[in-house]
Structure 1
Amino acid sequence: MTNNNTLSEPLEKTKTIAEKTVYSILFTISLSHLLNDMLQSVIPSIYPLIKTNYHLSFSDIGLVTLTYQLSASLLQPFVGMYTDKKPKPYSLAIGMGFTLSGLICLAQASGFYWILLSVMLIGIGSSIFHPESSRVAHMASGGKRGLAQSIFQLGGNAGSALGPLLAALIVVPFGQSSVMWFSLVALLAIVILYYIGNWYKGVAVSKTKAVKIPSEKHHSLSSTRVSVSLAILIVLIFSKYFYLASITSYYTFFLIDKFHLSVQASQIQLFIFLGAVAAGTMAGGPLGDRFGRKYIIWISILGVAPFTMLLPYANLFWTTILSVFIGLIISSAFSAILVYAQELMPGKVGMIAGLFFGFAFGMGGLGSAILGKLADTTSISYVFHVCAYLPLIGILTAFLPNLEVKKKKAAGI
């Protein structure tokens, strides 16, 4: 009798963890995502400064983004695949250590190649952070996976919005060396991630000791249909992040060129857009949980097209208004896409998170490099005219299966 009680304790603990939404961990990992992405967003925020200081072309700026995004993307699927099999609770804090090193190097960089090395280190930190932190959000979701990913993504988007604002207040007035102050934020994040690592370790140990709890519901789709659906999702990520690359890397230049704004004023405009992205993020996950992720993906990608096509022709007032609508609508897609993909391949949380975060960063980097070259050969205004049509690719969402219906049929409902 005593032995049965002893054996049942870890099982009950694991079931409780699996069934209960752990909001304290969700909001803590969201805070760490805020800090991480705030530090990451310092890179594009100082582009006008380093472009002037080092006499860089738009192609050079694109190469900086490409270096960062590739280092932030290529490792992510491999990190996710590895930690699916062997969880590494303290890898989050280690990843932030790479980011800390990159920030210190960036503050002291004296040339273009030092800048490339700095952003590469920051990118490596991001490649370790995102798959594992997404897994933590999944573990703490209690089954509310869309809500959990939205809370997690909210932190990241809020951090991305804060980065340009802090850069406008700190880096632009005080110069490149002031980036060093952001290393204090990285140190704070390391402490928070160590705390999360302790919780993560406790859950991982409990699961290995306990009898396995029932797995997530599987769909009845064939492997071919799953592969095609994943390919469609990747194309949708391409359209979303290729467009976002035009905003995050070149929106300030577009505003300076078209409306003759100051660097600080253009950073405030970027903050407004990224703030709208942060606000819209929270809606995508819960709405996907309630109405179906396919519909949210459809609305988020294709639905933003009218606004992106109007943006290049608007005056400053309407540019601001349109940027808010674009940010609100397009930001709801990623949480829905990520959870949809994880439902397509149950049990591959880390690999899917790494693949999609990695591909998103990779597309952002590739997009920035290509658009930088295009801006050099044409104009920054032309870039925004071309990118305006990318969301039309969202029509491919029509070919995605409705997983909620498939699950009900598989369950005999």
Structure 2
Amino acid sequence: IRRVHLFTSSLFAGERRQARQDLARFQSNISDYLDAQVLVSKTIEVIGSVFDSRSAVLYVMSPAGDGSWVMGNYHPEPPYLTERVFHRIWPHFEAHPDLWASNQQLNENKAPADVRLTLANHNVALVVPIRGDGRPTGLIVLGPKAGRRAVYNLEDLDLLRSLSGQLALAVARLGLVEREKELAAESTEARLVALRAQINPHFLFNALNTILSLISERPEEAETVVEKLAAIFRYTLQAGSKPFVSMQEELTLVEDYLSIEKARFGENLEVECRVDDALRRHPVPAFAVQTIVENAIKHGLERKRGGGRVEITAGTGDDGEALVTVTDTGIGIPGLFGRSEPTRDKEPFFGIGLENVHDRLRQLFGHEDLLRIRSSPDGTTVTLRLPERRPENLTTPQPAGADAGNDPA
């Protein structure tokens, strides 16, 4: 009998040691989980397995900060501790975040009768509050142990407290990650709104001057310019602050813009546009191509006597990227003269428009080198590289000029 007792004691000690090792291994890797639901599901699975619980459930405040809860369970059995039941006991534990145990020798929480009855009716043996940043953020709720005479002990409680603290930190970290994503998105959106605010007055000033100069001599052409200007503003309103549009939408915007500029420049502005049909649905950052074309006109051709030519091409590179190239025959960018390699990062000569495009490309795609520029006294070539990544927020607005026939689609 003594040998059997020693054998079983040794076996249980080995199992407890293995369980502690499994728990320690999980805790060392807990920061690797970047999704709240995956984190919660894995945590409760480890808890249920390590502590040999018949069932277990875990509720944690969502790191998104929207008031919702993330829930995971382990071997759920009736009566289930649903979210509705959880919300009946949560107000008490939120106000009194102490450990509760059905075993009065372990209990630290003087729960009121209605809470104790709810826990008893759902066969709860242990409730471990999760505290984050000094306040309760969730609960670990365990049923009895699976073993016939097995019970939770002080060592179990210490391990669970340690794990709950680490879980709170992991969830808080996910909250910071979510906030970082939100700020990046807000920054991208704010930059787009700022760019639109910059573009619209420039369009309006030049276009209205062009219209005034055409009304008396060429009224039909003036009417066309008005239609194009209206189409541009309708498009900016419909596209909203969405970061992406289709290539077709962006190039239609560019064509409308160039129609106005051709009316202003007359024969001094030549335009050619060649687009691979396969790319017409490809997502492109809103206003990116238009900004590059506007820079070619404003800083390249406007300053050159006799005007010049703008060529826009859209095709696919050897590595599968979409490439949009804008080439002008303007005065060039002196700071780039003589360089053997194109720019790959932000340059001192970047104005608000190019800086905006560069920063949005970095935020949307995670690369610094997607805007490349070569220049000489004979003109400038800007290449916009668009990696193979179809964003979820690609806009598909209604045709901006549906009632005009040839306005943005």
- Same fold? TM cut 0.5: no
Taking structure 2 as the reference length, the TM-score comes to 0.26
Taking structure 1 as the reference length, the TM-score comes to 0.26
Larger RCO, structures 1/2 (Cα 8 Å, 6+ apart): 1
Larger Rg: 2
